[in-house]
Structure 1
Amino acid sequence: MLHWIKSLLVLSFLFVASVRADPLQKSFSDWQMTCNNAAFCVARNIPGDNGLVMTISRHAGVNDRPLLRIDYGSAYSGELPGGDLKDNLLIDQRRLKPDLKHWTVEPHHLATSNAIAIDEFLDLVMEAKSLQLTFDPKALISLRGMKAALLLMDDVQGRVNGMSAWIKRGDRAIWDVPPQPKVPALPEALPQPAALTREETSGLIDYGTWRVNTDSCSLDPMRREVSVSPLTDTKALLLVSCEMGAYNVIDLAFEVTREQPYVARGISLTLPFTPPTINERQLELINAEYDAATGQLYTFGKGRGLGDCGSASRWQFDGNSFVLAEYAEESTCDAWHSSDDWPTLWVSQSRSTPQQR
């Protein structure tokens, strides 16, 4: 009887403390929080164009690998002038002197992955309004929204009311958290296809320029750019530019037989989730590039010319369609980081690399 009651309690806990694996990106006042399908979450203050940013990240499960960092200067601003962060931080206009024993300390970068050090620092700043620099009052981290962002992070990872929670802490043991959600495995990479011959390339580019069905293209055929790559030994990928802006080109994609008479099939990219800014699952091929050696297709949609915001994705060809491998998005245009460092909303597990001929 006692064993049966314990089983019911365990099942009840598993129902309540579950990990949400739906990707999300939300803003809370001056903070933005992003979680991917593995329930890895990262929060930071926005905007970052004042040069000073605090970033807090954490994985789901017991092996949470937390990280808290404060950075002055970005990839866009470069190194900024001024004294060391450790000696020049203010919290609500008062000197902040954190214990940095378990921190990596550089002149303009402070970071720690020590759980106790992170807890201690969060206790110092949780109820404050701002962090700023003594020598640059404009370099300010607003703390409005940080608590709400971290509470959602705890909720997504099933930590609320547990000892591992950062905000709403309870008595549940620190190890008593749901495991990290499994991420999907990519299909096995296909053998690298034979390179296109000069005749194949010439014929397919001519077909893509004048004869493939591009009724939805707004660009005049004379202004369209056509690229062609081998998909398999019998099929090729045609990318035809159809709309062009200041810094984005939207393509149509077609799978075409490599030999005449050409038979074309339109290719579309369907996301397994709905992104926060697009609100639909059909993804346009923006600034698309295809790597025939790996069978991977890349898209990169810039939110503005600087390339500090937008979305980027990577897809794996499985012989019939493209499967999403990774999706990253930065909705805040604040000159903080480039696409290599945008927060991810979707990740996957690679199985193998293509066989070489």
Structure 2
Amino acid sequence: MSYWMKSLLLLLFLFAAGVQADPLQKSFSDWQLTCNNAAFCVARSFPGDNGLVMTLSRHAGVDDRPLLRIDYGSAYTGELPGASLQDNLLLDQRLLKPDLKHWSVEPHHLATSNPIAIDEFLAQTLDADTLQLTWQAKAAVSLHGMKAALLLMDEVQGRVNGLSAWVKRGDRVVWDVPPQPALPRLPAPLPQPAPLTHDEASGLIDYGTWRINTDSCSLDPMRREVSVAPLTDDKALLLVSCETGAYNVIDLAFEVTRSQPYVARGLTLTLPFTPASRSDNQLELVNAEYDASSGFLYTFSKGRGLGDCGIATRWQFDGNEFVLAEYAEEKTCDAWHSSDDWPTLWVSQSETAPQSR
């Protein structure tokens, strides 16, 4: 085969590999790996409620921007008392003295984005069992599953048998990796609608409370809550609480004309992928909030009351339906991070917003 044919096939391979990535979230012993549709992957140890967690993240493509972190203390605990990490880490019961020349060093936080420093650290830890504190034995990171999680990360990003792989390294040059998949583009935001008048809001709330079809709701009509917001200059979004639990409320959503006679159309949320935690791609509107100024609809499904696990999504209205902008999920309930820091399975690229009125 001629050189130019080989080059063409390589380019076609890289293009095809970079078109899309299937989101995933998977556990390996005591590690969890999450990769989104841009093939950005995050692997972290769990449980985090013992105080100490190790995290590795990496983007797809040549510009991989790797990051390795070791943190003691979470978003829920805040800073914890105790000596600094750099002098008090045990690796399989032996004092670990990493070369921290290219690390950011704080008393309870160590981080590096230097590829050589990360490689050196992984060379010591990939086949080890435990990383823990000298003065707090229960503050430990189990390393069981880290190697398998990083191997799958390498596979997702097309690094296996290459010099950039973290686990199964070969002699393929560093730049010989698929590019980052292109992000899906959101539709251009609609012009900001005129606010609802008092009469419009009152009429729509009355309609949503007593006359819209909510036969599938288990919640007693007297206990249902109705909220309304402008979608466009002639349509409104009506949210009706349908089921409620200790910390989650499930709504039904309707697109309704802003003037009488009211005409309603049910709206659903359809994911462009099927998460591993679900059997289908239809998402309920849990704890839904709509921002009329941006056209974004937010949902936040708590796995438990603390809010340290669950599903958070953001959707944009395109004039006919809501299109997924972002999907984040944390299935491990271990009091490590809040929804602002949950790993993403879906991200998108926004179009330029139109000017407000």
TM-score tier (shorter): over 0.9
Deviation readout 1:19-72 (Å, 9 max, x if unpaired): 860000000000000000000000000111100000000000000000000000
Deviation readout 1:100-153 (Å, 9 max, x if unpaired): 000000000000000000000000111110000011000000000000000000
Note if 1:226 corresponds to 2:226: yes
Note if 1:350 corresponds to 2:317: no
Residues 130-149 of structure 1 mapped to structure 2, 5 A cutoff:
130-149=130-149
Deviation readout 1:325-344 (Å, 9 max, x if unpaired): 00000000000000000000
What is the aligned-residue RMSD (CA, Å)? 1.5
Note if 1:238 corresponds to 2:238: yes
CA distance in 2, matches of 1:313, 1:156: 23
Query: Offset of 1:9 from its aligned partner?
Result: 6.0
Cross-structure match for 1:207:
207
Deviation readout 1:225-280 (Å, 9 max, x if unpaired): 00000000000000000000000000000000000000000000000001121221
Query: Offset of 1:10 from its aligned partner?
Result: 2.7
Cross-structure match for 1:311:
311
Note if 1:328 corresponds to 2:328: yes
Contact 2:19 2:182 (C-alpha < 8 Å) held by counterparts: no
Cross-structure match for 2:174:
174
Cross-structure match for 2:29:
29
Figure out how many residues of one structure are paired with residues of the other and give that number: 357
Cross-structure match for 2:269:
269
User: TM-score w.r.t. structure 1 length?
Assistant: 0.97
Contact 1:17 1:177 (C-alpha < 8 Å) held by counterparts: no
CA distance in 2, matches of 1:134, 1:240: 54
CA distance in 2, matches of 1:326, 1:253: 19
Residues 50-199 of structure 1 mapped to structure 2, 5 A cutoff:
50-199=50-199
CA distance in 1, matches of 2:177, 2:278: 32
Which region of structure 1 is more displaced relative to structure 2, 250-259 or 347-356? 347-356
Contact 1:157 1:178 (C-alpha < 8 Å) held by counterparts: yes
* Residue type at the aligned position of 1:75: A
CA distance in 2, matches of 1:129, 1:18: 35
Deviation readout 1:211-237 (Å, 9 max, x if unpaired): 000000001111000000000000000
- For structure 2, the residue ranges without an aligned partner over 5 or more in a row are none
Q: 1:322 to 1:25 in 2, by over 3 A?
A: same
Contact 1:19 1:156 (C-alpha < 8 Å) held by counterparts: no
Contact 1:190 1:355 (C-alpha < 8 Å) held by counterparts: no
* Residue type at the aligned position of 1:138: K
* Residue type at the aligned position of 1:162: G
Structure 1: 4+ residue segments shifted above 4 A = 11-20
CA distance in 2, matches of 1:176, 1:330: 32
SS at match of 2:136: coil
Query: Offset of 1:78 from its aligned partner?
Result: 1.3
Contact 1:240 1:251 (C-alpha < 8 Å) held by counterparts: yes
* Residue type at the aligned position of 2:348: S
CA distance in 1, matches of 2:316, 2:8: 43
Contact 1:19 1:39 (C-alpha < 8 Å) held by counterparts: no
CA distance in 2, matches of 1:81, 1:250: 40
- For structure 1, the residue ranges without an aligned partner over 5 or more in a row are none
Cross-structure match for 1:2:
2
Contact 1:87 1:97 (C-alpha < 8 Å) held by counterparts: yes
User: TM-score w.r.t. structure 2 length?
Assistant: 0.97
Which region of structure 1 is more displaced relative to structure 2, 42-51 or 15-24? 15-24
CA distance in 2, matches of 1:354, 1:208: 30
* Residue type at the aligned position of 2:277: T
